A = this chain, B = another copy of it.
Amino acid sequence: MEPTQQITTGTRLDPWIDAYAARTQGLTTSQVRALFAVASRPEVVSLAGGMPFVSALPLDALADTVARLIRDRGAVALQYGSGQGDVTLREQILDVMEPVGIRAHPDDIVITAGSQMALDLVVRVFCDPGDVVLVEAPTYITALSVFSSYQCEVVHVPMDDQGMRPEALREAIASVKASGKRAKLVYTIPSFHNPAGVTQGPARRAEVLEVVRSSGLLMLEDDPYGLLGFDDSVPRAIRADESEGVVYLGTFSKTIAAGLRVGWAVAPHGVREKLVLANETATLCPSNFAQLTISEYLATQPWFDQVKVFRDVYRERRDALLESLSSLMPAGTTWTVPGGGFYSWVTLPHGLDATAMLPRAVAAMVAYVPGTGFYADGQGRHNLRLSYCYPEPDRIREGVRRLAGVIKDELEIADIFGSPEAVAGREGPAAPEPNLA
């Protein structure tokens, strides 16, 4: 056999490797993806995924709603629709946004295939390669994928337990401008942050907004969890106080069902026109089938009562998580206390590395998302995200018990062989200040 043949044997060569666009360099498979395939086995307690607990929905009522829709308006529900989205649903979205304080016109809304698509389109419309997007440290993992796929540079802004720090944002923007780069967007998740689990109070929101206003940048406010506050109060959206400088992203994934893939953007007039054209280019139109299902559901079901059901479900699970963290975690472990949403952000003690620890956690039948995925710059080694949205409370407690055991084992090893920090010889940048539980 020829040597060249030996080299190629068993290697799956991609003949198109030289043909891909430069932007595909940002399209990489997550290192932990293979591990998550293992972690999806039922015996593993997954505190990793952010799946809403859709089993809490009234399935019989929803089934009747969809069946009636197809029988009575099938010719519309099964047809192409408007690139901007169904006008009746856009009117109903105004009601859905009333609790967060947003007043708008149906024309201001663009409906998309999930709010992920809206995020993708906003970046498509605004960002040339090399443009800078400022984001919280840490931030939503798949937002980073979008910024990367449009070849943006990401600058992380430190957080505290009130979210993004205004002074740090001001300095980061000044630093970007001084470097000659072009900043375009400030991407923020002010309510029940993914993954940090913190929420900006009203004063903090005003301060951050003022910094963004004075910088001339566009704010992209991502608000998937705004209605899921556990004390039944709803944080006022930043968009409620600034209509020209903010694009607001909303979704039905957490208040109705993620499987419908319906989200929306609220955008200033000129931006909205561009988003509609970009939406038509990307998908022709959002699904009438999914949109009209939601529209019927909103019109005929007590949708806000169902949001309260979800709040109760997630509050109970958040409590199970926090109680078991408090009673089981070794000293030095800290975590944020979420007032709503799906996540708590954990900082490991003594420089333990959450990515290195993950295989051992999965072997112990518990899964989480390591912190590094939520940063574009290598921060987060000592952090991990715990999701309490999907498992039942008893499973959450069992998962934390297993995780605490893994951390204790890691600490013992570090005691014997020296801390990984000492071995690695470097301290990671500061993670957001946790609320100590």
Asked if residues B74 and A128 are in contact (CB atoms below 8 Å), the reply is no
Which residue of chain B is the closest to A143 with respect to CB atoms?
B281
Q: Cβ of A29 < 8 Å from any Cβ of B?
A: yes
* Chain B proximity of A176: nearest CB distance (Å): 14
- A302 interface hit (Cβ, 8 Å): no
Q: Pick the contact of A67: B21, B66, B120, B131 (CB < 8 A).
A: B66
A126 adjacent to B21 (CB under 8 Å): yes
Produce 1/0 per residue, A60-79, CB < 8 A to B: 10111011111100111111
Q: Chain B contacts of A66 at CB under 8 A?
A: 63, 66-67, 70
Is A44 interfacial (CB 8 A cutoff)? no
A290: interface (CB < 8 Å): yes
B-chain residues with CB within 8 Å of residue A71 when the two chains form the complex: 59-60, 63
- Closest-CB distance, A7 to chain B (whole angstroms): 18
| CB–CB B289/A117 < 8 A | no
A212 at the interface (CB under 8 A from B): no
Closest residue of chain B to A73, judged by CB? Answer: B59
Counting CB contacts under 8 A, is A432 at the interface? no
Which of A164-172, A189-197, A253-261, A398-406 forms part of the interface with chain B?
A253-261
| B261, A287: Cβ atoms closer than 8 Å | yes
Task: Name the contact of A78 in the complex, choosing from B27, B124, B258 (C-beta under 8 A).
Answer: B258
* Additional A-B contact list (4), CB under 8 Å, known A14-B271, A66-B67, A79-B258: A12-B269, A28-B277, A54-B79, A289-B293
**Chain A residues engaging chain B, CB cutoff 8 angstroms:** 12, 14-17, 19-24, 27-29, 51-52, 54-55, 57, 59-60, 62-64, 66-71, 74-81, 113-114, 116-117, 120, 124-128, 131, 142, 145-146, 149, 184, 218, 244, 253, 257-261, 268-271, 273-274, 277-278, 280-290, 293
